[in-house]
Amino acid sequence: MELFTILLSSFITFISPINSVGDIVVENALRSRLEKVEQLEVRIDNVPNHQITQGKLQRVRIASRGVQLTSDVRISTLELDIDQVDVNLPALLQQEPEASPDLFRKPLQAGIRLVLTEDDINQLLQSPRVMARISQSLGNVLKRLPGAEDQNYQLSSTQVQFLEENRLAIQLQFQDMDTEAEKLNLRLETGLEVENRQRLKLIEPLIAINDTPVPPLLIPGLTAMVRNFTDLGKLEDAGIFVRILKLEINSNELEVANFVRVEESTASSFLSNE
């Protein structure tokens, strides 16, 4: 969920120089907001000049490779196809977006295609924010283990390995904060399936803790945790609608295609908070 929020907020702030729209202008604006990008191409469909001066764009397509959005988020391939941008340009050019909550006159809609390598995923999983969320979510599951009820485990490392046929393996290491010498290693191998186009479901998960298979009664709890952790429906209350159209995993990369719609007020708030 964090990844989509970062992508959306980044893109919305990208289009702020719309008063001087042109492929090269927007491309340079994008580069200035990214930590690093290896390849970047922007194509803007031609529209009448009077519509551009009113803050309207018919279509914007962005193709990029090796995109470093933040220090924690790298994307091997990022492609966006944005439909009909309509911005209140006079308010935007005032440089005081917080004074005008209605900068967008219609929802912002886009198709997004992502390709992530193992290194991309592992870099994201090592970020403090994601580590904290995983540790918190898994805490209740670990406490169900015999003899672990009173242990104070904290996640110390996470490693993902892509397998064939939409399967992957995740290795998590936990440290007992009360007795630093004690560690717990959890390995999960599972297939992934998109459920209702908005969350992930584990398929035939195999789970072992310190190389010992876990009791079957723990698997439903972990499955529910993953479903909740990846539920993009949580974004809808914030005015962000996301549906997963494609998910494929092979030994080299993970590919995801999504449809995203951001309501006018939400898109405006991203700029107001910039």
Query: pLDDT value at position 116?
Result: 96
| Residue of 271, 274, 268 whose CA lies nearest to 102 | 268
Per-residue pLDDT of the chain (274 residues; tens, 9 = 90+): 444 444 445 555 555 554 455 677 777 777 887 889 999 998 887 666 666 667 777 888 999 999 998 888 899 999 999 888 888 777 766 655 454 567 788 998 999 999 999 999 999 998 888 888 888 777 666 666 655 556 677 888 999 999 988 999 999 998 877 776 678 888 999 999 999 999 999 999 998 988 989 888 878 888 888 899 899 999 999 999 999 999 999 988 999 999 999 998 888 777 665 5
Q: Under a CB-based contact definition with an 8 Å cutoff, are residues 225 and 137 in contact?
A: yes
- The reported pTM is 0.80
Terminal Cα-to-Cα distance of the chain (whole angstroms): 20
Query: pLDDT value at position 4?
Result: 47
| Residue of 203, 194, 166 whose CA lies nearest to 259 | 194
15, amino acid identity: I
146 burial type by CB count under 10 A (0-12 exposed, 13-18 middle, 19+ buried): exposed
260 burial type by CB count under 10 A (0-12 exposed, 13-18 middle, 19+ buried): buried
Query: pLDDT value at position 138?
Result: 73
Query: pLDDT value at position 51?
Result: 67
- Give the span between the Cα atoms of 217 and 68, in whole angstroms: 40
| Residue of 171, 162, 156, 212 whose CA lies nearest to 191 | 162
| Residue of 14, 120, 26 whose CA lies nearest to 68 | 120
Query: pLDDT value at position 143?
Result: 66
Helices (H), 73-127: 89-93, 118-125
- The string of pLDDT tens digits covering residues 249-266 is 998 899 999 999 999 888
Tokens 């009791």, located at residue: 215
